[in-house]
């Protein structure tokens, strides 16, 4: 199943449950943005309360929700057993990828990211509507096991046998700034791979060939295992999606740097 769907293909395609995941660090107004304009029929998904458990020192800022709680949310969003799902945001998929990854992790296969999000939809002439959408509850059943996951110990060991990609901005990887987590730096042996570099200037994903070249230059592609982390397991899901688009399977570390940096017994490297 393809990771992405273009705005043109979505306009021409059949029915799909549309999920609007408007979220960004420092912007608590995702729901207000949604209410102002969204794809017709799209349901708002709150990343903080529906796509994560409450933050903790032990598990990080956005721990995975339980499978049972994710299923309850998916049913509330109107997802049925045989439905296709398309998720989007207004930031190139950086937030929506979390919903894509979680639903895939939960066992759904027909889940795709709208490539380029709301901006691409508007460029393609797609209509928008205002106000809330409250769907008829669905009956989807999530079985789990659909995507590989790393623990903190798995992540610590991965650089010796494979590649651990850090999807945060380069200055956070290098330890030059740390705006939110307890310590600056990165996991020893990790490779800097800012997830924004997966996108073209207009906010769509790079073509699969270009993504394969990007990841090969970072040491990915020799058959070894690949893992991804970020600050709290959100933008890392975007990198997992980019890798999947390039034909490369990667595991997500949900706790990410927010979990690692809170454990003072874990070393932190700085610099390139």
Q: Looking at 103, 123, 143, which one is the last position of a domain?
A: 123
Q: Which domain holds residue 215?
A: 152-260
Instruction: Output the tens digit of pLDDT for each of the chain's 272 residues.
Output: 689 999 999 999 878 999 999 998 888 899 999 999 999 999 999 999 999 999 999 999 999 999 999 999 999 999 999 999 999 999 999 999 999 999 999 999 999 999 999 999 999 999 999 999 999 999 999 999 999 999 999 999 999 999 999 999 999 999 999 999 999 999 999 999 999 999 999 999 999 999 999 999 999 987 799 999 999 999 999 999 999 999 999 999 999 999 999 999 999 999 99
pLDDT at 130: 98
Residue 66 located in a structural domain: yes
Question: Which of 17, 85, 230, 251 is flagged as catalytic?
Answer: 230
Identify whether residues 157 and 250 lie together within a single domain: yes
- Give the domain CATH number at 31: 3.40.250.10
Beta bridge partners of 4: 113
Residue 130 located in a structural domain: no
- CA terminus-to-terminus distance, the chain: 36
Query: Is 230 tagged catalytic?
Result: yes
**DSSP states of the chain:** --SEE-HHHHHHS---EEEE---BTTB--HHHHHHHSB-TT-EE--HHHHSSPPPBTTTBSSPPPPHHHHHHHHHHTT--TT--EEEE-SSTTTTHHHHHHHHHHTT---EEEETTHHHHHHHTT---B-S---PPP--------SS-B--HHHHHHGGGTSEEEE-S-HHHHTTS--SSSSS-SB-TT-EE--GGGGB-TTSSBPPHHHHHHHHHHTT--SSS-EEEE-SSSSHHHHHHHHHHHTT---EE-SSHHHHHTT-TTS--B---
Identify whether residues 156 and 219 lie together within a single domain: yes
pLDDT at 223: 79
Structural domains in the chain (count): 2
Identify whether residues 112 and 167 lie together within a single domain: no
Residue 269 located in a structural domain: no
Identify whether residues 158 and 98 lie together within a single domain: no
Q: Looking at 123, 144, 172, which one is the last position of a domain?
A: 123
């Amino acid at each position: 199943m393809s990771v992405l769907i273009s705005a043109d293909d979505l306009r021409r395609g059949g029915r799909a449950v549309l999920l609007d995941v408007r979220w960004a660090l420092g912007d608590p107004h995702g729901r207000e943005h949604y209410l102002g304009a969204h794809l017709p029929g799209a349901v708002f998904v709150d990343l903080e309360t529906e796509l994560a458990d409450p933050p903790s020192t032990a598990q990080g800022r956005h721990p995975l929700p339980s499978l049972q709680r994710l299923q309850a949310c998916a049913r509330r969003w109107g997802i049925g057993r045989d439905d296709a799902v398309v998720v989007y945001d207004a930031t190139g998929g950086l937030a929506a990828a979390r919903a894509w990854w979680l639903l895939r992790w939960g066992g759904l296969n027909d889940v795709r990211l709208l490539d380029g999000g709301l901006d691409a939809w508007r460029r393609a002439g797609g209509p928008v509507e205002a106000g809330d959408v409250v769907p008829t509850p669905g009956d989807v059943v999530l079985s789990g096991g659909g995507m590989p996951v790393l623990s903190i110990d798995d992540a610590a060991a991965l650089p010796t046998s494979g590649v651990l990609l850090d999807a945060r901005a380069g200055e956070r990887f290098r330890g030059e700034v740390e705006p939110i987590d307890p310590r600056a730096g990165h996991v020893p042996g990790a490779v800097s791979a800012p997830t924004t570099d997966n996108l073209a200037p207009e906010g769509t994903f790079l073509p699969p060939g270009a993504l394969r070249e990007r990841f090969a230059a970072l040491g990915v592609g020799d058959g070894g295992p690949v893992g991804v982390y970020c600050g709290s397991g959100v933008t890392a899901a975007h990198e997992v999606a980019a890798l999947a688009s390039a034909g490369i399977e990667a595991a997500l570390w949900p706790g990410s740097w927010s979990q690692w940096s809170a454990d003072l017994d874990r070393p932190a490297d700085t610099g390139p």
